[in-house]
Structure 1
Amino acid sequence: MTYLLIRKAAWAIATLAVASLFVFLTMEVVPGDAAQVMLGINATDEAVAALRERLGLDLPLWQRYLSWVGGMVQGDFGTSYIYSEPVSYLVADRITVSLPLAIIALVLSTAIAIPIGVWTASRRGSMLDTVVMGITQVGIAIPNFWFALLMVYVFAIGLQWLPAGGFPGWDAGVFPALKALAMPAIALALPQAAILARVTRSALLETMGQDYIRTARAKGLSRRATLWGHALRNALIPVLTIMGLQFAYLLAGTIIIENVFYLPGLGRLVFQAITQRDIIVVESVVMMLVATNIIINFIVDLLYAVVDPRLRKAPA
């Protein structure tokens, strides 16, 4: 287990290093000048040059990269060019929307997908299995913003049960905040549930064909007990992989949904920073999301060892 931890941690650190270089260089080749955007098109060349010097944009590329990485290692993610506030403050303010949204969406998708995956696997080849799998395929094919617009039309405009957009803040109360996140969470959860349900079904079907499942059945164990007590646990590795990737996606990939519902989350912050050429915000937030993704995958790898004890053994 110790070897597994060391090896996975080393890979995580190396991936972070490569990702930081890629993110930094990608933002450097994006057209536009942050100083020019901040001052406007009528600014003089002298004013633009002075602002670039104040922001440190006139320094050599390698020096800016090392300064940025060194600051992140020490917990300093820089100061926004546009808002003139530390990026960490902006992230801390927006994460209170994006993180609960991602958690709610993941809980919903898991609560929907796992029972459907198990149920359809136990009825393989039936008419209901075919219908449900067809519905999940449609759910995968349709983008989540379409679900979002449809729900706004039905539940906000038509039935007027839920707000069409905006976020009142947690200070307004838990119920109003959760009510504002309900439709965005469902719009995010439905396509992810469709994917997870198909993965769960496929993993269970493969596991149920193993010899130990037939042995359990031959000893008199019921199909339901075999399915839930033996097959499901051994089918969890691909399911955990998808759940880890989905949480990282839900946290980082909500730009469209947050803009549809006017939610002040990380996705909207990144979108605004890109349009305003606020490079430091984009770089730092993207790196935070990359680090979150890597940490989640690291945790998922450790959960593999919990689910399957064979993975705890160090290779010879």
Structure 2
Amino acid sequence: MLVYASKRILIGIVTLLAASIVVFSILEVVPGDPARLMLGMNATDDAVRTLQEQMGLNQPLLERYFRWLGGLLTGDFGRSFTYSVPVISLIAERIAVSLPLALISLALSTAIAIPVGVFSASRRGSIADTASMGVAQIGVAIPNFWFALLLVYVFAVVLRLVPAGGFPGWNAGVWLGLKSLILPSIALALPQAAILARVTRSALLDVLGEDYIRTARAKGLTRRRVLYDHALRNAFIPVLTILGLQFAFLLAGTIIIENVFYLPGLGRLVFQAITQRDLIVVEGVVMLLVATVIVVNLLVDLSYAIVDPRLRSRS
């Protein structure tokens, strides 16, 4: 297990380093002078030169990269030129919204998808199987922003059960904060649950066709015990893969939903930073999201070894 984990950690570190080079390089080759784009085309040359010095744009490329990388490693993400505050404080403020939103959405998605997938696989070919997978297909096809608008109209405008948007802050109370995240979480969770339910069903059907499942049935084990004790655990590897990808998407890919519900999260921060040409913020947030994806994938890889001990013996 230690060798397996060491290999995955090493791969994660190399991937993170490669990602930092890509992110830094892409923003470096963006057309136009970042300082002039921030100040506007009518800015004076003196003002542009001053901002270039503050941003370190007058230094050699490699020196700028290693200085930026060293700052990331020490928690110094730079200072936003739009908000005039450290980038790390902006991220900390926004992740307090995005992280609970992603976790609630993932928990809701998993709580719906796993039982539906198991139910559908255990009744393969039945009307219930066809109906549940039909609903899942609709969930995959419906855009989450359209579903979000529908939820706002029904539950916020018509029924007035929850707020239509905005975030009061956790200082206003945990319940008020969670209440403002209910509709966004549902809007994010249901399409992801549809995908996960289909993957769970497909993985279970593959496992149920294996020889050891037929042997377990031949020994007289009940259908329920075969399904939950033998098949479900062995079908969990593709399910864990999708869960890891979904968490990364829910944390990093919520720009549309956060704009629909006017939530001050990471996705909205990146969107605003791009429109304002605040490249320091863009670099910091993107690298944080990349690191999160790599860490989540590492945890998923380690969970593979827990679910399937054969992977540990091969490493």
- TM bracket, shorter-chain basis: over 0.9
Structure 1: which amino acid aligns with 2:291? A
Matches of 2:217 and 2:292, distance apart in 1: 42
What is residue 65 of structure 2 aligned with on the other side?
65
Matches of 2:31 and 2:128, distance apart in 1: 52
Which whole-Å deviations, capped at 9, do the CAs of 1:85-135 have from their partners, x for residues lacking one? Answer: 111111111111000000000000000000000000011111221122122
Which whole-Å deviations, capped at 9, do the CAs of 1:44-64 have from their partners, x for residues lacking one? Answer: 122112221122122222221
Secondary structure at the aligned position of 1:313 is classed as helix
Matches of 1:121 and 1:32, distance apart in 2: 55
Structure 2: which amino acid aligns with 1:61? L
Structure 2: which amino acid aligns with 1:170? W
What is residue 159 of structure 2 aligned with on the other side?
159
Q: Displacement of 1:175 after TM fit?
A: 1.1
Q: Displacement of 1:34 after TM fit?
A: 3.5
Matches of 2:29 and 2:186, distance apart in 1: 36
Matches of 2:239 and 2:83, distance apart in 1: 41
What is residue 109 of structure 1 aligned with on the other side?
109
Structure 2: which amino acid aligns with 1:42? N
What is residue 190 of structure 1 aligned with on the other side?
190
Q: Displacement of 1:314 after TM fit?
A: 4.1
Secondary structure at the aligned position of 2:274 is classed as helix
Matches of 1:28 and 1:162, distance apart in 2: 44
Q: Displacement of 1:68 after TM fit?
A: 0.6
Q: Displacement of 1:32 after TM fit?
A: 4.4
What is residue 172 of structure 1 aligned with on the other side?
172
User: Which stretch shifts more, 157-166 or 195-204?
Assistant: 157-166
Q: Displacement of 1:35 after TM fit?
A: 2.4
Matches of 1:287 and 1:42, distance apart in 2: 32
What is residue 44 of structure 2 aligned with on the other side?
44
Matches of 2:221 and 2:206, distance apart in 1: 19
What is residue 230 of structure 1 aligned with on the other side?
230
Structure 2: which amino acid aligns with 1:128? A
What is residue 123 of structure 1 aligned with on the other side?
123
Structure 1: which amino acid aligns with 2:301? D
Matches of 2:174 and 2:54, distance apart in 1: 43
Matches of 1:2 and 1:160, distance apart in 2: 53
Gaps of 5+ in 2: none
What is residue 90 of structure 2 aligned with on the other side?
90
Which whole-Å deviations, capped at 9, do the CAs of 1:206-233 have from their partners, x for residues lacking one? Answer: 1111122112212221111211121101
What is residue 142 of structure 2 aligned with on the other side?
142
Distance of aligned partners of 1:181 and 1:32 in 2 relative to their CA distance in 1, 3 Å threshold: farther
Normalised to the residue count of structure 2, the TM-score between the two structures is 0.97
Which whole-Å deviations, capped at 9, do the CAs of 1:261-311 have from their partners, x for residues lacking one? Answer: 110111111111111111111111111110010001101111111101111
Secondary structure at the aligned position of 1:9 is classed as helix
What is residue 289 of structure 1 aligned with on the other side?
289
Normalised to the residue count of structure 1, the TM-score between the two structures is 0.96
8 Å contact kept, 1:162–1:180: yes
What is residue 277 of structure 1 aligned with on the other side?
277
User: Which stretch shifts more, 282-291 or 139-148?
Assistant: 139-148
8 Å contact kept, 1:3–1:314: no
What is residue 7 of structure 1 aligned with on the other side?
7
Structure 2: which amino acid aligns with 1:87? V
8 Å contact kept, 1:32–1:277: no
Gaps of 5+ in 1: none
